[in-house]
Amino acid sequence: MIRPLVLLVLMALVAAASTALATESAAGRKDPARAITSQLICPCSCGEILSGCTCETGKSMQGFVTDELKKGKGKEEITTALVAKYGEVIRGAPKAEGFNLLVWVLPFVATAIGFVIAALVLKRWVGRRNPALAGAGDAPMTTADQDDLRARAEAELRGLRE
């Protein structure tokens, strides 16, 4: 039971990772200007996502994107021009290449490792013998018993004090 479940989850994670690298925002599908501006950050100190930025720099960049689209330029071309002018720092998400690929891959790899560990732990626990059956005569006092005794002792102490 556990192996197919883990495989299913791992496949879902691979799909999610590849979708993450390819997905375009829902708003972007409807509006090509927004498809570009929602992926960029205003280079001034406001630090807002360009599509929602109302500062002067932001508005001028939004205007630039609209003008370039009207000229028939594509998303990649416009983004490259803006990045060339302001630097990689204006990309809202780093390009998935070189060292920066790590930030895209690690969350999914970590989740997958987490699932594998959880599955292994579960497998071990399910296969473990019930200690109550192993040596009922020597069974140590359970934590519930200890808690009950502690509560009784405290209540009695309270009674003595009052």
Which stretches of 23-95 are DSSP H helices?
A: 26-30, 32-37, 56-70, 75-86
Nearer to another protein, 71 or 130 (CB): 130
Assess 86 for contact with another protein (CB under 8 A): no
Tokens, residue 66: 């609209």
Backbone φ, ψ for residue 91 (5° rounding): -75, 130
Nearer to another protein, 73 or 86 (CB): 86
Choose, by CB under 8 A, the member of 71, 84, 129, 138 that binds another protein. Answer: 129
Are residues 27 and 136 in contact, defined by beta-carbon separation less than 8 angstroms? no
Minimum Å distance from CB 124 to another protein? 9
What is the per-residue binding string for another protein in 95-124, x denoting contact by CB under 8 A?
Answer: ---xxx-xxx-xxx-xx--xx-xx--xxx-
Among residues 85, 92, 21, which one has the least CA distance to residue 52?
92
Nearer to another protein, 71 or 124 (CB): 124
